[in-house]
Amino acid sequence: MNTEQQKKIYQEYIKEVTPSHNIWLNMLKAFVVGGIVCLFGQVLMNWFLSMDIKKEDAGTWTSICLIGTSILLTGLHLFSPIARFAGAGVLVPITGFANSVAAPAIEYKKEGQVFGIGVNIFTISGPVILYGIFSSWLLGVLYYLLQMTGIMGGM
Amino acid sequence: MKKGKASIEFRKKPRILGASSVVGSKEGEGPLGKLFDQVEQDDKFGKKTWEEAESELQKRAAELVIQKAAVAKPSIRYLFAGDLLGQDIATSFGLLDMNIPLFGLYGACSTMGESLSLGSIVMSAGYADYVMCLTSSHFASAEKEFRYPLEYGNQRPACATWTVTGSGAVILGQEGGFAQIAGITTGKIIDYGVRDSQNMGAAMAPAAADTIAQNFKDFQVQPSEYDKIITGDLGKVGQRALLDLLMDQGYDIQKQHMDCGLEIYNMEVQNAEAGGSGCGCAAVTLCSYVLRMIQEKTWKKVLFVPTGALLSKTSFNEGQTIPGIAHAVIIEQVE
């Protein structure tokens, strides 16, 4: 049959002939659309601030609005085409996270509230949540130890 | 009659009495759009779920082919059918009401080749007067089974293929018809160690090359024996790999080769990246374009080679490679 050598040659060959998207063009699209998302966020933030809302609360409201918009677009079948164009531009901001939760919820609704939505809602965002919490725990422990040993000043 | 290592030349050649193709809107807008029997604008085919929609596709294709072949339903002895979903559920629920004995198949996207091969063997042996061979795939149910939820925003790489929403069905009989199945070459599982599930053309090309070369050896023919050599869903990357792999073995099929995945969409404007894929891709292209060309006597003899990538979400996540398989069916004009 095929020796390992032949397989390796084939895999190298495939790497060579497989086309890829233009990374510079993708980065430009992501930069422009990501910038628009951030601008939208800033406009919201300023608007909330102008209503005499505290800075911290205004930030929370801005996030909620961005999440809401992203979920609304997901439900209207619009997020996916935008993401195809913009890539990281809409996936990296909080809009991407919202979409990654809303999309499975829509898809698995037909399999029921518990085994459908309940089980599957975090299929994509699960790793982000798990390792996000885990790494913040880890940093917390590290911070505590550094304080204990007096390397870092306590509060 | 056995031929070579992996082929059969039928003494009694099963006839193709009719074929039907039912597709979704995107396929309907493609270059083959006018050739399909039915183009449905509703992606859910009037059903609640994607899986039910795919079952509906099969059901419609089955009912339509019975009409077109003008065969009485009870006289069809066996169904040979399969799809891409876990445990073949599109087939099970789609063909439930047919009331015909079923062989449920899984050959990934090579299923149309597998079903035609098995159907022809049974026909040629005289164990049935009529059999039906069919398969289906649906973009949304396949995305759910193998990739992400439909509304999840992600960028598809340039080598990714787009699963065809469609079902194709063929009825084989003993007499009549405009085309016949002269022989088959059955593919084996071939693994060249490709691991990228977004580059299935690359994973399947070695299997297609192996089956096609085996066919040439078993029947002692050259590529020029066929007017067309038609692979299922290799796409741009897979086509190039196939041509190069066969060239290495001394076969130049550049003139004859056609890939259903490259025919079904208008690649520039339809966002299909490297081409179409799925069981339905080869099936509906066969049942519309290919058989029409044979019927119109433009092509005399073709080698139809649907290709399948043998992976699941689990095997992929567990780090397995993606083996391929391809089944060849020789289809020719009735003199």
For range A65-85, the mean pLDDT: 96
Assessment of whether the complete model's pTM goes beyond 0.90: yes
Domain match, B17 and B159 both: yes
**Confidence (pLDDT) at A154:** 56
Tens digit of pLDDT for each residue in B9-39? 999 999 999 999 999 999 999 999 999 999 9
**Confidence (pLDDT) at A151:** 81
The residues spanned by each domain of chain A are: 22-123, 125-155
Domain match, B11 and B29 both: yes
Domain match, B202 and B313 both: yes
- Out of B151, B236, B241, whose CB is closest to A77? B151
Count of structural domains, chain B: 2
| Contact list, B151 vs chain A (CB under 8 Å) | 74-75, 77, 79-80, 99, 102-103, 106-107
3-state secondary structure chain B: CEECCCEEECCCCCEEEEEEEEECHHHHCCCCHHHCCEECCCCCCCCCCHHHHHHHHHHHHHHHHHHHHCCCHHHEEEEEEECCCHHHHHHHHHCHHHCCCEEEECECECHHHHHHHHHHHHHHCCCCCEEEEEEEECHHHHHHHHCCCCCCCCCCCCCCCEECCEEEEEEEECCCCCEEEEEEECCCCECCCCCCCCCHHHHHHHHHHHHHHHHHHHHCCCHHHCCEEEECCCHHHHHHHHHHHHHHCCCCCCCCEEEHHHHCCCCCCCCCCCCEECHHHHHHHHHHHHHHHHHCCCCCEEEEECEEECCCHHHHHCCCCCCEEECEEEEEECC
| Contact list, A79 vs chain B (CB under 8 Å) | 151, 153
User: Does the distance separating the beta carbons of A99 and B151 come in below 8 Å?
Assistant: yes
Is the confidence metric ipTM above 0.90 for this complex?
A: no
Note down the domain range covering B193.
Answer: 182-333
**Per-residue model confidence as pLDDT tens for chain B (335 residues):** 999 999 999 999 999 999 999 999 999 999 999 999 999 999 999 999 999 999 999 999 999 999 999 999 999 999 999 999 999 999 999 999 999 999 999 999 999 999 999 999 999 999 999 999 999 999 999 999 999 999 999 888 989 999 999 999 999 999 999 999 999 999 999 999 999 999 999 999 999 999 999 999 999 999 999 999 999 999 999 999 999 999 999 999 999 999 999 999 998 889 888 999 999 999 999 999 999 999 999 999 999 999 999 999 999 999 999 999 999 999 999 98
Tens digit of pLDDT for each residue in B111-120? 999 999 999 9
Domain match, B191 and B324 both: yes
Domain match, B226 and B158 both: no
